[in-house]
Structure 1
Amino acid sequence: MAAEGQPSEGSPAEEPGTERTWLAYPDPQIDLAAVRARLVWTSILEGSFQRAREELAELARLHPEARGRLAGREVRFVEALQQMLDEAADWPRWKQPGDWLTFAKQPERSGLVGQVPSVGPVRWRAELPMLPTGPPASPSGPVQPTAAESALAPLGYHPVVVGRWIFVNTLWEIYGWDLWTGQPLWHQGRIYRDPLDRSAQAALVPRQMWGRPRCTLSVHGHRLYARMGTPVSVWGQEGDGPANGYLVCLDLEAEGKLLWKLAPEDPRWALEGSPVADGRSVYVAMRRSELGPHVQAYVASVDADTGRILWRTFVCGAEPPVRNLPQTSHHLLTLHGDTLYYNTNLGAVAAIRAADGQIQWIALYPRQIPVGGKPIGRHWARDLNPCLWDRGVLYVAPADHPAIFALDAATGQLLWQTGPELEDAVHLLGVWEDRLIATGDRIYGLATTGPRQGQVVFRWPDGPDRLGYGRGFLANGRIYWPTRHSVHVVDARTGQPIREILLRPLQTGGGNLLAANGLWIIAAEKELVCLGVGPTTPSEPQTTPNHPGGGKATPHPGLNLQPAPQTTPTPQNARE
């Protein structure tokens, strides 16, 4: 993987055997023992205890008696840091916010859940329309592989939670409920509806297409952003089509009032997934289709108040996975500080300055695109796969390569990469201490540091069965992993199963799983289910206006809200 220059189709990665080098200041006049001591200190403060132990062992080997100032005191480095590391095990963990504001919880896509609520009965459920999917154009055409979902019933819904509010979007509508009661927000529940009639909407969803529709949202402050409309981002080799999707911005302080709508005027342009946002702007990935086989990836900044495009930066151009077939894609950006990161799935990963769109670095890798007549790799099931940022490292699982990469987030330098054995890993859940957790048909734990970095430390279950069904989450050193009929709780460091939560006795099944503000939410292929005991009073101050209380929960057009029977969970619902 190379990390410089403008990318183009077929750009080479590093030659085999090339020594990896880093920029270095010549002949530094600095105390190396003090530098190494501060690296250990930093690892302890950020909670990377395993890395701190390894760095401390190296410090003890190289500078066993070195002394200096640390935290305002004159100390022997090894002794002081060992004491700090021993005490750090009892430090309180940083409290994770309860809201779930975007895909993977936060713009870094590395959100960890703080306190996991108790499992309880289904409180309410709402029907959702089955997202469209279809066969290839011909029996001999390309068939996109699947992992952790069904090819005929994709798990495409990813709701967001803000205080006591939960929102989910379909291709054409956005709905909101009170998280704890299931009452539709603002007396109707449907807070946005596409103006097209059903026949016009149906014409914008091809019967055959590559890819599967995904529905995501993002919330920043009191504004909700969503990518709506046709799921198609590339209509075919001719370069344009009847229409493309669009972005909407809704004001949650004004009962979901539409503030602005952004739709590309040129049919060759398409918006990818829902954006990320900061206090100034909204950032979204875009795609441009030209005549011929190539597509181009861009990143754009949009004024948060007006919906006007402020800048748009070209990242790369490459051949899409298939030709002469409409394609759906829903690429998401990652935001940390003032830097945007984009996994293009076109042979390049980019870092872009949010303030002005300047490219900071681009890392290239050799693509593995489908070739006629040959089996398509399982890694092509990765279609909702933004970069994951964690403590200065960027983790990437691209669709067009079977490996998972770890890059230095500041430079794009390749730190390590896996082999092809993880091609069915479609979700990067997060990092716990020195373990990157990836899931798909099964769970993988990868070492992020030390002599085994980039290697699979555990895989569960180890048999041939493909059990995964949906995206789970990571909380307090435990993985919550959904299958069709259970949620498995697994130790994030060892891969040992801890508990199995049976879903059938709770009258529900698996799907995309999240936990927020005292309850569990399962987004299945055609329903949204909220379950758990839930708090009796808000556990934290409301971050949104008060919900208009009172009144009986009523169905709203297009959805069927079903209050769950009030059952008491039994011990048989969980297996230790």
Structure 2
Amino acid sequence: MIDLTVRTIRTAGLVGFLALSLLGARQSFGQVGDLEVRAEFSLTVELPEIRNDTKNLLSQIDQHLQQKNWQDAIDTLGRLIGSHGDELIARGSDQVDLGSQYTYYVDLKSYLQRRIAEYSRQTPEFLEVYRQRIDPLAQTVLDEAKASRDPAQLATAIDDYFLSSYTDDALLYLGDLLLEQARFNEARTAWERISPRFRTPNDPSGVLLAMPGQPMWVAVDGIDWKKHRNYIRQCLEDNASSSPLATIPNSNIDPAAVWARLCLASWLEGAEDRAQSELELLKQLYPDGHGYLGGRETNFAQFLSRLVDTSHGTLPGRHEKDWPTFAGAYSRNGHGKLTRPAGTYQPNWSVAIDRQVLSRPAGSGVTNGQAAEPEATPLISETEKELNSTFPIVHDGVVVVADEQRVRAFELESGLAAFPTSGRAFDKTDLEYGAFYSPGRRVDVDFESRRRGNLLSAMTIKFLHALGVPRFTQSSDGDMLVARLGITAIGVPMFQAQFQDPADMVIFDMSKQGKLIARIPPVTELSLPWSFEGTAIIDGNRLYCGMTKSGVRDESAVACFDWTTSQMLWRKSLSITQPYGSGLVQEADYGHRSYNLLTLKDGVLYYNTNHGVIAALDAERGDTLWLTRYPRLPLVPTPRLELAHGLVQRNINPCVVTQGLVISMPLDCDRVFALDAATGQLVWQTVPSGIEPMHILGATDEDVLVSGKQLFWIQLHSGKIRAEFPQVARDPRDSGFGRGTIVGDQVYWPTHDTVYRLGSRLDENAQVVTAGEPVDLAQYGEEGGNVLVSDEFMIIASPSRMTVYSPTSSDVLPKREADDPSN
């Protein structure tokens, strides 16, 4: 049994306050040094930090402020933001254990907003001069933006005139607009920018339960209000600089109105603990606060008490009948829904899928002319010859799977091909069965003639050696489906690259029997050698995707395309690092396979680069909202390709965003950790090497469910590991095998021979609850794999085939009180 008490670390250090000087960041982006010895993998991460000319302008602003030449300071500030606003600057760090450090960056514009806001609090006469200059135009622009009811337009106006006299009211209104659209994280951030008092203040007496700058509800959750009410009130009133957000210097907005909105947003999101904590703060500090809420003039505390205490909020789209993308939602926290209880399951239909194996260079199993026993590759939840590479999605009663060459669709109930196909593919063991797009089938000459025609491209797919486990995903929005098709190896040696093109994003219209609508390549003649890293998010007419520019160093970026025109709208470069393929194998040069997926939540893109950096970007404009460098795990190069695959096995691990947290487990990090969604600051982490995670299945309002060889329940807001299943090491076939899924109040967790059905919530004693009879796959000659549930069906994509199971009865185990999500 593993000791659960030592595997979580809460942040223990303050994020250092920003120095009054605007200097101190170093220039590094694009400066590529000589590679070290091939066997030494470099953990260096280079960022687009501020340049020397930027530092000179910052120094000029400092001088103008010190000399009270405020007009000159304002002019220089405008020039700096206009020409250098997207450069990054470090704003603090957390030293958490044995030298492990998280470092936080924002773009220069956000940094300057926060810096000038702090200066304005200390020097009100500067703020008066500044507002005299910008207020007349700011009022007009902000009023027009509010009248448009377009959050993007209003957010841009707020950024342009952040220190105006009217911005706090605009932020309140922006949060209301975002709340109407169920964009909870963005709404909370807008309201918290109204004043620093909505984040945890400095606490010299050590009363509060969170560090300065963290969300206030955590700091007072479980506090003794009777004893500490007056102290907390005074701390909040005195709070001027602990918020990591850029906040208004002297807002006149009623704090009770903001706390009421924060509580309402928590309730609507289904974050009941947070709602209760914020409601108690409202009752204790502003019992008489009143205003317009819920369509009428009301006492905030009384109205919200009736709401929170008598009913449960709902999280829109949390339980979906369809499964439109990896992890069920672009927040990567989708939950399946059972239309009727299932006593157990039996196979309904099955089709073959393309079996994947790990790359082995030619001759790797031969020594002196004799066949040698191949060395085993240590993998979690799969083996080198049984890879769980396929992740189906479900769209309107149709199951869709893809590989590097084809996309296939089947009717969920019958297993028949969903769309007409030509040729001989009527055998369900044929990989062409159900294919509505594959080489030689449904090819549009206009699309192909732009850049194809290399006959060796298709031939080299199976023979191209690259580091990493193959993964295949798709995404859908409405009737549009996107898949990444083609060779997924990145940064392959030049002699191989000339025989293959990087994978494209291919868009299909599912309402027109999978008609090919668009094909977007990652490169043009002017942009070589960019590659897509994983399947894009499709949202309306936009595609969002991670990209890599290969070279001596790999450049990681996020890009946005208009798929209707194939035009790239923006691309934001984030970091430069050493590619895995050229650093982790000593014997030769290899490319690597990357399947990084973006997360989209409330208008913000979150990207786990798996190269030392996690970033949040505005989805509309591509602006960097924050970037966090996490402690990277030293990766020891191995002498052979087949032994290195395990180092990058966890290569499909997007961030999970829920309740204001960004949960992540990068492949180059030996811990699971949570960041503040608004700021990128560390909230908690598990103890380094405490668990071996492979998948984040999702989160309830209490726990994050993480799986590998075992299934773990990690407390959502503290990082404490509360339970594991199974507790005792068993036969390897009883270890996790594939990706499970959360289904209502249950979690389906697969092993090689069984799918366990457990309660997604623990009981009152923090014990794992059995929610249904385990599904014995071995009795049907089937095996585990990647599981999802849609409608009443359970779908398992094993290494060699996809099987759809139907429920055999509605007799389920008696429901225990601890299983009830209302408890």
Q: What TM bracket, shorter-length normalisation?
A: 0.7 to 0.9
SS at 2:338 equivalent: coil
Distance change >3 Å, CA 30–CA 247, structure 1 → 2: closer
Cα separation, 2, equivalents of 1:96 and 1:246: 31
Encode CA deviations 1:184-217: one digit per residue, 9 max, x unaligned. Answer: 1223321111259998535234464321111111
CA-CA distance at 1:101 after TM superposition:
1.0
| 2:686 is aligned with 1:414 | no
Q: Which moved more, 1:345-354 or 1:370-379?
A: 370-379
State which structure, 1 or 2, has the greater radius of gyration over its C-alpha atoms: 2
Asked if the contact 1:485–1:503 (Cα under 8 Å) also holds between the matched residues in 2, the reply is yes
Alignment partners' CA distance in 1, 2:378 and 2:781: 29
Partner of residue 315, structure 1 = 574
Q: Does the C-alpha gap of structure 1 residues 15 and 445 become closer, same or farther in structure 2, counting only changes over 3 Å?
A: closer
Asked if residue 474 in structure 1 is aligned to residue 697 in structure 2, the reply is no
Greater displacement, 422-431 / 8-17: 8-17
1:176 matches 2:450: no
Letter in 2 for 1:501: V
CA distance in 2, matches of 1:94, 1:250: 23
**CA distance 1:178–1:512, change in 2 (3 Å):** same
Instruction: Give CA deviations for 1:418-464 in whole Å, capped at 9, x if unaligned.
Output: 22245521211222112111112111212222xxx122122222223
Cα distance in 2 for partners of 1:15, 1:107 equals 29
Whether 2:525 is the aligned partner of 1:300: answer: no
Aligned counterpart for 2:594 among listed residues 317, 321, 329: 329
Instruction: Measure how far apart 1:44 and its partner are.
Output: 2.2
Normalized per residue, the structure richer in strand is 1
Q: Is the Cα contact below 8 Å between 2:256 and 2:300 reproduced in 1?
A: no
Q: Is the 8 A contact 2:702 2:715 kept in 1?
A: yes
2:619 maps to 354
Residue matched to 1:553: none
Look up the match of 1:251.
509
CA distance in 2, matches of 1:505, 1:327: 38
Paired residues for 1:342-421 under 5 Å: 342-372=607-637, 380-421=648-689
Alignment pair present for 1:193 and 2:438: yes
- Counterpart secondary structure, 1:187: coil
When structure 1 is superposed on structure 2, of 490-499 and 437-446 the one drifting more is 490-499
- Residue 68 of structure 1, aligned match among 270, 274, 290: 290
1:529 aligns with 2:788: no
Which of 526, 529, 552 lines up with 1:268 in the alignment? 529
CA 1:105–1:76 in 2, change beyond 3 Å: closer, same or farther? closer
Q: Which residue of 1 aligns with 2:336?
A: 113
How many pairs align? 535
Q: Distance in 2 between matches of 1:214 and 1:350?
A: 23
> Cα gap change, 1:457/1:517 in structure 2, threshold over 3 Å: closer, same or farther?
same
1:126 and 2:351 are equivalent in the alignment: yes
Q: Match of 1:40, SS? A: helix
1:443 alignment partner in structure 2: 711
Deviation at 1:574, TM superposition (A): 13
Distance 1:462 1:255, change over 3 A: same
Take 2:252 and 2:386, find their aligned partners in 1: how far apart are those partners? 62
Which stretch of structure 1 is more off in the superposition, 115-124 or 394-403?
A: 115-124
Determine the structure 1 residue equivalent to 2:785.
511
- Work out whether 1:434 is the aligned partner of 2:706: no
Q: What's the counterpart of residue 554 of structure 1? A: none
- Following superposition, the deviation at residue 182 of structure 1 comes to 0.9
Counterparts of 2:699 and 2:289 in 1: how far apart (Å)?
A: 33
> Kindly tell me: are residues 353 and 91 of structure 1, through their superposed partners in 2, closer, same or farther at Cα, counting changes over 3 Å?
closer
CA contact (8 A) 1:490 1:497 kept: yes
Aligned-pair distance for 1:356?
A: 3.2
Structure 2 residue 95 is matched with structure 1 residue 16 = yes
Matched, 1:279 2:540: yes
2: CA distance between counterparts of 1:574 and 1:127? 37
Q: Secondary structure at the match of 1:531?
A: strand
Q: Is the Cα contact below 8 Å between 1:484 and 1:511 reproduced in 2?
A: yes
CA contact (8 A) 1:502 1:573 kept: no
Task: List runs of 5+ in structure 2 lacking aligned partners.
Answer: 1-10, 17-24, 30-43, 47-89, 102-211, 214-241, 366-373, 422-433, 441-452, 583-588, 817-823
TM-score by length of 2: 0.59
Per-residue deviation, residues 229-259 of structure 1 (Å, max 9, x unmatched): 2231221499956322222122223322222
Per the TM alignment, residue 327 of structure 1 is displaced from its structure 2 partner at its CA by 1.0
TM-score (norm 1): 0.82
Alignment of 1:43 with 2:258, yes or no, is: no
- What do residues 109-144 of structure 1 show as CA deviations (whole Å, max 9, x unaligned)? 1111133553432111001121131347979x9987
The SS at the match of 2:466 is coil
Deviations 1:245-285 (A, max 9, x none): 22212222332222232333466222111110111211221
Report SS of the residue matched to 1:430: strand
The 8 Å contact of residues 737 and 752 in structure 2, kept in 1 or not, is answered as: yes
Alpha-carbon separation, structure 2, partners of 1:81 and 1:331 = 41
Check 1:382–1:5 CA distance in 2 against 1; reply closer, same or farther (3 A cut). Answer: farther
Partner amino acid, structure 2, of 1:220: D
Deviations 1:313-364 (A, max 9, x none): 2111111334222211111111224322211011111222233333222111
In the alignment, the residues of structure 2 paired with residue 31 and residue 368 of structure 1 have an alpha-carbon distance, to the nearest angstrom, of 46
Query: How far did 1:104 drift?
Result: 0.9
Check 1:142–1:52 CA distance in 2 against 1; reply closer, same or farther (3 A cut): farther
Structure 1 residue 55, shift from structure 2 partner? 3.8
Between Structure 1 and Structure 2, the one with more helix by share is 2
Question: In 2, Cα distance between the equivalents of 1:265 and 1:338?
Answer: 28
**CA 261–42 in structure 1, closer or farther in 2 if over 3 Å, else same:** closer
Indicate the larger mover: 498-507 or 377-386.
Answer: 377-386
How far apart, CA to CA, are the structure 1 residues paired with 2:491 and 2:669?
21
Letter in 2 for 1:315: L
Q: Is the 8 A contact 1:155 1:524 kept in 2?
A: yes
2:723: which partner in 1? 458
Per the TM alignment, residue 286 of structure 1 is displaced from its structure 2 partner at its CA by 1.2
Report the counterpart of residue 219 of structure 1 in structure 2: 476
TM superposition shift of 1:517? 2.6
Distance 1:308 1:531 in 2: 42
C-alpha offsets along residues 478-534 of structure 1, whole Å, 9 cap, x if unaligned? 21111111111222231513132222334422110011133111111010101114x
Distance 1:575 1:531, change over 3 A: farther
Q: Over aligned residue pairs, what C-alpha RMSD do you find?
A: 3.8
The answer to whether the 8 A contact 2:320-2:335 is kept is no
Unaligned runs of 5+ in 1: 534-567
Q: Which amino acid aligns with 1:300?
A: A
Residue 692 of structure 2 corresponds to residue 424 of structure 1: yes
When structure 1 is superposed on structure 2, of 241-250 and 176-185 the one drifting more is 241-250
Match of 1:210 among 467, 482, 486: 467
Distance (whole Å) between structure 2 residues aligned to residue 152 and residue 174 of structure 1:
23
- AA aligned opposite 2:474: L
Contact 2:467 2:644 in 1 (8 A): no
Letter in 2 for 1:103: F
Letter paired with 2:416: Q
SS at match of 1:286: strand
Larger RCO of the pair (alpha carbons < 8 Å, separation 6+): 1
Compared CA separation, residues 128 and 91, structure 1 to 2 (3 A)? closer
Mapped to 2, the partners of 1:116 and 1:363 lie a distance apart of 41
